[in-house]
Structure 1
């Protein structure tokens, strides 16, 4: 499938949907109208729907239907159920969704199987309502608020659990608005987001007051080939360095860590590249999150339909079944593989990036 094999977008370039679907209720919010205006200015086809149901005529061919859905952005209103925050361990105290869905084409996509229907990305028009509800959660979390090691981060809010907000920023402006909002919030709080995109220009001059941490999601070239439609890893690291210069705390999300042939040399070279990127930046506040590859039966089925012929290994060799807190099952690396991976990363990070803090391993 050609769309899944693309090598990535140019450094600094942002994603543009082919069309924007606008629900009727979303036009009642200033953010919804602003998204429409931004999309129109970018030359995106704007389609105003008659009601609040997102509908899209999709081709019968599954591959063409996937491509059409992935190139569509819908503006909707987040209902009260979506504005009730959920814990998001081990990353942050709470998950705050600015959107659901992602325009990237990753063969291991974590969203596969968890979002219903065609993979249309939905962005929320009622951003003010979402942000106004956050104060009730301050001091209530258990990941950073209640942690001795991470309490200095304050109450943390993760904005990239179900989306890549930087990818959507050229059309939505939601990430900039949220960063500025946190910057004005005089409280022990932190906004967090991770991205595979590199267009951070609109964020650099914001009054963030150190209350937003950007992390770049990275993988070595051997495995970044599974991340279609994203910015090159070198561009992501350059963007992260620019954010650090602008005073943002920053981080790396090394994910998913893939234990395929050649992984040690590949990840070793990646860590060397990171060290070189930050060599000339003094006193960088840098964290690292280490997430190994895993999948469920449901996500595997969806991914194999989206990316037929992908060489990503989702076989059972070297895997074991783990039951989640929700009672579902996922396939993770077996204990011996996990020990080898963890030992490698802890030792190499200590040697090449001694200033970095590893937040968690999973």
Structure 2
């Protein structure tokens, strides 16, 4: 299969505070060696941010996470806690949920103060409401998700943050688990890390016809090969099938996807496979942003074909109608059981 080129930002904005951390300086050095233009800002306030989508998606900022941003937050149903290594993603997914979650132009903000971020985690051991207090998932220990606002593997060649976290969790002698989801396949640098089985790597996968919605990300065959590689390296693995879309022929396409996963994991001893099944939804805000980013996208976002549902924050989102949701859930869970009977379904949403 053809080579997939890693993302290299055209410009890297660096704040003075970020350079006071060795981790931040190392990011800047890697980016400079990769050919990025390094712009050292005069203050810790980000300035000179690009207005256009194209320029923003080719910009990275190396900054310091504020105390509020480095404070872990509950993140059900995925994990007990969320902590962030960065915000923003190098891919160009036309359904990107970050469009409704992050403000401002879609640059990537990578956090230089990783030691401070990781120092927030130990006091949370045994706390949480998802796995810490769940009989069904207690074996996972206290779980920490680090891919809510970024794809950490997609920028790892520049940040080094993911490897540092995997190594830290591998040396943490406690019932804990680091979790991240990725669409990228550059797993070679993490295969030999001393992970201790305490990092679960989940690959974001979708039906073949959804690949056209995922610009800037490796194709499914590359992700499946990476899934096999990390499973063979002893990492617990998982599937994040998202967003599940009512595309033409969706039953055959998703069944085929699960068959390909089974083929990729054939012969791998005990991959401790999990699955998370997430249907497509959007908000008025995210639709407006995505329509601006990807005019003419074939992504189905017709409110007339959806049901409006209130979130826990009192805002509205557009989800699949109840009958359609029920039909898809029944099919997907049955297909998962048939194709991958060893997989533990963590949730459907």
Instruction: State the match for 1:62 in structure 2.
Output: none
Aligned runs of 1:1-362 on 2, under 5 Å? 11=3, 13-56=5-48, 58=50, 65-362=52-349
How far off its partner does 1:179 sit? 0.5
CA contact (8 A) 1:12 1:200 kept: no
How many residues were matched structurally?
Answer: 349
Q: Tell me how far 1:113 sits from its aligned partner.
A: 2.3
CA drift of 1:45 comes to 1.4
Find the aligned partners of 1:144 and 1:128 in 2 and give their Cα distance: 25
Distance 1:279 1:57 in 2: 47
- Partners of 2:92 and 2:215 within 8 A in 1: yes
Answer with 198-207 or 261-270: which moved more: 261-270
Distance of aligned partners of 1:108 and 1:21 in 2 relative to their CA distance in 1, 3 Å threshold: same
Q: Which runs of 4+ in 1 moved over 3 A?
A: 9-13
Residues 38-63 of structure 1 deviation map (CA, whole Å, 9 limit, x = unaligned)? 1112122111111112223536xxxx
SS in 1 for 2:69: helix
TM-score, scaled relative to structure 1: 0.94
> Conserved in 1, the CA contact under 8 Å of 2:72 and 2:120?
no
Deviation readout 1:300-338 (Å, 9 max, x if unpaired): 000000000001110024311111111111000011011
CA distance in 1, matches of 2:123, 2:83: 13
Partner residue, 1:4: none
The SS at the match of 1:256 is: strand
SS at match of 1:83: coil
State the shift of 1:70 in Å: 0.6
Whose relative contact order is higher, 1 or 2, with alpha carbons under 8 Å and at least 6 apart?
1
Tell me by how many angstroms 1:12 deviates.
5.4
Q: CA deviation at 1:163?
A: 0.4
Aligned partner of residue 20 in structure 1, secondary structure: strand
Alpha-carbon separation, structure 2, partners of 1:101 and 1:58: 14
- Larger mean CA deviation between 241-250 and 272-281 belongs to 272-281
Decide whether the 8 Å contact of 1:11 with 1:232 is kept in 2.
no
CA–CA distance in structure 2, aligned partners of residues 346 and 95 of structure 1: 27
Tell me, in whole angstroms, the C-alpha distance in 2 between the residues paired with 1:142 and 1:68.
Answer: 40
Unaligned 5+ segments in structure 1 are 1-8, 60-64
CA RMSD of aligned residues (A): 1.2
